[in-house]
Amino acid sequence: MSNAGPTSTDARTEPFRPGTPVVLRSLHTFGTRGEAVAFAVAGRVLVDDDDLAVVASPLGSAVRRRAGVGSGPNGRLVLPEDWDGTYVEDRWSKAPVVRVHQKGTPWSVRRWHDGSDWIPDWYVNLELPWRRTCIGFDSQDWTLDVIASTGVDGGWSVRYKDEDELAFDVERGLVSNEKRAVIERSGQSATAAALARAFPFSADWSHWVPEPTWAAPEVPDGWSRI
């Protein structure tokens, strides 16, 4: 939850082949513990090329999150001092999710597929551009998110999510004012892209429907090593 994070240089230069199991990790610096994985979720690669990374997490995909008592707004945050260095082993329990990241962009776009069609909500996760690693992709979640939804009347709405968490992080000194400005500019750019229905909102997502026969992927051995 600090300003530190992975660099933009890929540790692995060779793209992943479609279907390859990978793990997506959010890295942060946690006080005296240093840099560590804040959250991880397994998935399978749909696309990995010079322009895009697309990863699907089927129902039951392995999830790892920090253990500890939540603090902050509605008890949603595990602060650095609340974390004991261990992780909760969990599973992805929602509909299969597809994450689309346009390389170099400080966000990724998520959609959920219920087995028949895409769920109307679009989730824009503000974060550092993804960095390819030997086991998947690393980033750093920036707390603030953007939600885009199609209403029953076909209208398109875009709004922020978790502004209270970002404000809490700034108040606690976990995020600097300079970093907050970077995050908010990224949010403005993401919002503009969503309102304009630019890529990937304009893309044909039928190419990225998760394969229903895929088994839920696990996190690999050594997934928490930085």
Question: 89-101, pLDDT tens digit by residue?
Answer: 999 999 999 999 9
CB 135 within 8 A of CB 10: no
* DSSP strand pairing (136-139 vs 21-29): parallel
Q: Is the dihedral of CA 26, 24, 147, 184 positive or negative?
A: positive
The reported pTM is: 0.92
Can the peptide bond before residue 200 be classed as cis, meaning omega within 30 degrees of 0? yes
Per-residue model confidence as pLDDT tens digits over 167-225:
999 998 989 999 999 999 999 999 999 999 999 999 999 999 999 899 999 999 999 99
Q: Is 32 exposed, middle or buried (0-12, 13-18, 19+ CB in 10 A)?
A: exposed
Residue range 21-208, CATH number: 2.40.380.10
Q: Is the pLDDT of residue 5 over 70?
A: no
Q: Which amino acid is at 26?
A: S
CA separation for the pair 140, 93 (Å, rounded): 22
Domain definitions of the chain by residue range: 21-208
